[in-house]
């Protein structure tokens, strides 16, 4: 089994951005699992260890994409209907025996190999068959309705890349190429445990001051979802010696140890000294919220990830940091979660330089998708975590100091401005970034057409909000009535 270097997780800085942390993982972490062979029926979800190179074309031969009649395009009469004799039939699994006769058509069905000498297929709906002859309409292009050999995958091309997590469609492609088994990485063996004297298993009695263990079940599901083989080490009390014994046992026969809770520098946090008795430990202070320093270390050469005890913080740090690290250890190519820009249905200020994740649900308002913030945003709320899991989290990057909610306003246009825009008034939802009159005018001009023409010179445009003239810095608020005047007023 491969091992990471002793200083793999070394970090001496004060604060680490998410992007910097991901770069360190990509540069320093490699697969620690060996290669094995899995039958197609058991390969779904496994990580492909080597490229699968196509040893044949897919499809293996040119074939018809429709039911119809195959012929040589050169046999058509230009610009007018063509009549050809039907001299054979080809179906999937039953190709035409020999080449097609010149000047003849072949009845063909979807998936059937194209007969030698033919290059075009006309759909049967466009043909008229009479007395063994087919009438073909003019205008069809050469090669129509013909699929070429190797059109899906060419012989010699990489059909499936190493590091890919195999999907049902991938297994179908492997089977189409003739593979019965695929080279995969052995499943990453993960030892999982929770720590804390206050933590109890669900279903047991809950004395005062105790809480049920939410993290272990959540993290087990996340690890299983990544294809890991998880060993449940249960809950361990806050005693250094007992934790050290458990961690030593967990390091034997596992590729990774994941803990939650107790990994800090407080008097009652005993995971840190227990790890340091057995190996090395580093804290990565991430510039994110929610989340605390994430502990990364090694025990007897086995990497360890120590996540926060608060459920939401544990979830966020797992998705942001632990997930890509685990995928790298498992030999998988790490894909960045896809982000979707949406309108903010809330106002939110944050600390500059920190990426923040806000629990939110998506709601449709007209044509827009709007992120609605969950009313409470503490790190330990299990109910809020559930909503976040089901509906998503809004990511707020560190370089933006605040989020502004988009507002609905009534706009009134006067004089020749009205004529250029084509209406006297409109109610509209402003984008979230529009928060003052200057932003409003810039946004209107960006709409192009009459707006851009009428508002070409913003320095001479006058604006009244709720019947009072205002300057460019005046804020735009919900339900405001905003009148826009051109240089020459009237009407």
| Whether the bond into 290 is cis, omega within 30 of 0 | yes
Question: pLDDT category, 400, cuts 50, 70, 90?
Answer: very low
Question: pLDDT category, 4, cuts 50, 70, 90?
Answer: low
Which domains are present in the chain? Answer: 18-34+187-329 (3.40.980.10), 35-58+151-185 (3.90.105.10), 63-147 (2.170.190.11), 343-403 (2.40.340), 408-485 (3.10.20.30)
Given the DSSP bridges, would you call strands 199-200 and 211-212 parallel, antiparallel or unpaired? parallel
Is pLDDT at 177 greater than 70 in this prediction?
yes
Quick one: average pLDDT of 35-43? 96
Residue 23 has which token pair? 């770069």
Tell me which of 101-115, 140-154, 367-381 is least confident. Answer: 367-381
Is pLDDT at 146 greater than 90 in this prediction?
yes
Report the pLDDT value the prediction gives residue 446, as an integer from 0 to 100: 84
Residue 62 has which token pair? 């040119």
* CA torsion, ordered 432, 436, 440, 442, to nearest 10 deg: -100
Tell me which of 87-96, 186-195, 329-338, 402-411 is least confident. Answer: 402-411
Report the pLDDT value the prediction gives residue 88, as an integer from 0 to 100: 95
What is the tens place of the pLDDT at every residue in 428-473?
777 777 888 888 888 888 877 778 877 877 666 788 887 778 888 8
Annotate the chain with three-state secondary structure.
CCCCCCCCCCCCCCCECHHHHHHHHHHHCCCCCCEEEEEHHHCCCCEECCCEECCCCECCCCEECCCEEEECHHHCCCCCCEEEEEEEEEECCECCCCCCCCCEEEEECCCCECCCCCCEEEEHHHEEEECCEEEECCCCCCCCCEECCCCCECCCCEEECCCCECCHHHHHHHHHCCCCEEEEECCCEEEEEEECCCEECCCCCCCCCCEECCHHHHHHHHHHHCCCEEEEEEEECCCHHHHHHHHHHHHCCCCEEEEECCCCCCCCCCHHHHHHHHEEEEEECECEECCCCEEEEEECCEEEEEECCCHHHHHHHHHHHHHHHHHHHCCCCCCCCCCCCCEECCCEECCCCCEEEEEEEEEEECCEEEEEECCCCCCCCHHHHHHHHHHCEEEECCCCCEECCCCEEEEEECHHHHHHHCCCEEEEECCCCCCEHHHHHHHHHHCCHHHHHHCCCHHHCEEEECCEEECCCCECCCCCEEEEECCCCCC
In this structure, the chain runs to a length of 491
Tell me the percentage of the chain whose pLDDT exceeds 90: 48
Interatomic CA distance for residues 312 and 343, integer angstroms: 23
Given the DSSP bridges, would you call strands 343-344 and 181-185 parallel, antiparallel or unpaired? unpaired
Report the pLDDT value the prediction gives residue 357, as an integer from 0 to 100: 83
Tell me which of 133-142, 411-420, 461-470 is least confident. Answer: 411-420
Of 105 and 280, which is predicted with more confidence?
105
Report the pLDDT value the prediction gives residue 421, as an integer from 0 to 100: 74
Question: pLDDT category, 292, cuts 50, 70, 90?
Answer: low
Report the pLDDT value the prediction gives residue 16, as an integer from 0 to 100: 77
Tell me which of 169-178, 204-213, 468-477 is least confident. Answer: 468-477
What is the tens place of the pLDDT at every residue in 67-110?
999 999 999 999 999 999 999 999 999 999 999 999 999 999 99
Quick one: average pLDDT of 9-32? 78
Is pLDDT at 347 greater than 80 in this prediction?
no
Interatomic CA distance for residues 437 and 415, integer angstroms: 20
Quick one: average pLDDT of 140-166? 96
Report the pLDDT value the prediction gives residue 385, as an integer from 0 to 100: 44
Report the pLDDT value the prediction gives residue 403, as an integer from 0 to 100: 54
């Amino acid at each position: 089994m491969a091992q990471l270097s002793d200083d793999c997780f070394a970090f001496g800085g004060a604060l680490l951005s998410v992007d910097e942390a991901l770069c360190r993982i990509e540069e320093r972490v490699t697969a620690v699992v060996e290669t094995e062979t899995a039958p197609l029926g058991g390969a779904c979800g496994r990580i492909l260890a080597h490229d699968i190179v196509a040893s044949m074309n897919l499809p293996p031969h040119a074939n018809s994409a429709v039911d119809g009649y195959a012929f040589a395009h050169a046999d058509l009469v230009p610009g007018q209907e063509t009549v050809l004799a039907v001299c054979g039939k080809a179906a999937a699994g039953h190709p035409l025996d020999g080449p097609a006769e010149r000047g003849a058509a072949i009845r063909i069905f979807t998936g059937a190999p194209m007969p030698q000498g033919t290059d075009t297929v006309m759909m049967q709906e466009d043909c008229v068959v009479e007395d063994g002859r087919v009438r073909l309409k003019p205008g069809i292009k050469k090669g129509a309705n013909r699929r070429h050999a190797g059109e899906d995958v060419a012989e010699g091309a990489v059909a499936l890349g190493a590091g890919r997590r195999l999907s049902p469609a991938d297994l179908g492609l492997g089977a189409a190429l003739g593979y019965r088994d695929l080279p995969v990485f052995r499943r990453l063996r993960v030892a999982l445990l929770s720590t804390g004297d206050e933590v109890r298993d669900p279903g047991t009695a809950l004395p005062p001051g105790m809480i049920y263990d939410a993290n272990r079940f959540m993290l087990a599901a996340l690890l299983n979802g990544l294809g890991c083989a998880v060993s449940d080490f249960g809950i361990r009390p806050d005693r250094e010696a007992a934790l050290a014994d458990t961690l030593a046992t967990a390091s034997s026969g596992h590729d990774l140890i994941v803990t939650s809770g107790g990994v800090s520098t407080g008097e009652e946090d005993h995971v840190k000294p227990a790890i340091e008795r057995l190996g090395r430990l580093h804290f990565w202070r991430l510039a994110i919220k929610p989340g605390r320093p994430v502990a990364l270390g090694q025990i007897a050469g086995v990497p360890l990830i120590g996540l926060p005890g608060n459920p939401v913080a544990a979830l966020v740090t797992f998705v942001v940091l632990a997930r890509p690290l685990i995928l790298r250890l498992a030999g998988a190519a790490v894909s960045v979660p896809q982000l979707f820009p949406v309108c903010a249905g809330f106002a939110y200020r944050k600390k500059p330089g920190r990426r923040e994740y806000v629990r939110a649900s998506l709601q449709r308002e007209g044509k827009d998708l709007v992120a609605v913030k969950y009313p409470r945003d503490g790190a330990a709320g299990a109910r809020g975590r559930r909503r976040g899991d089901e509906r998503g989290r809004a990511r707020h990057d560190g370089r933006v100091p605040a989020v502004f909610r988009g507002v609905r306003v009534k706009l009134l246009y006067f004089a020749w401005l009205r004529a250029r825009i084509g209406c006297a008034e409109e109610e509209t939802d402003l984008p979230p970034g529009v928060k003052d009159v200057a932003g409003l005018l810039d946004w209107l001009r960006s709409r192009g057409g009459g707006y851009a023409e009428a508002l070409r010179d913003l320095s001479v445009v006058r604006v009244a909000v709720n019947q009072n003239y205002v300057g460019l810095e005046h804020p735009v608020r919900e339900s405001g009535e905003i009148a826009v005047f051109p240089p020459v007023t009237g009407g």
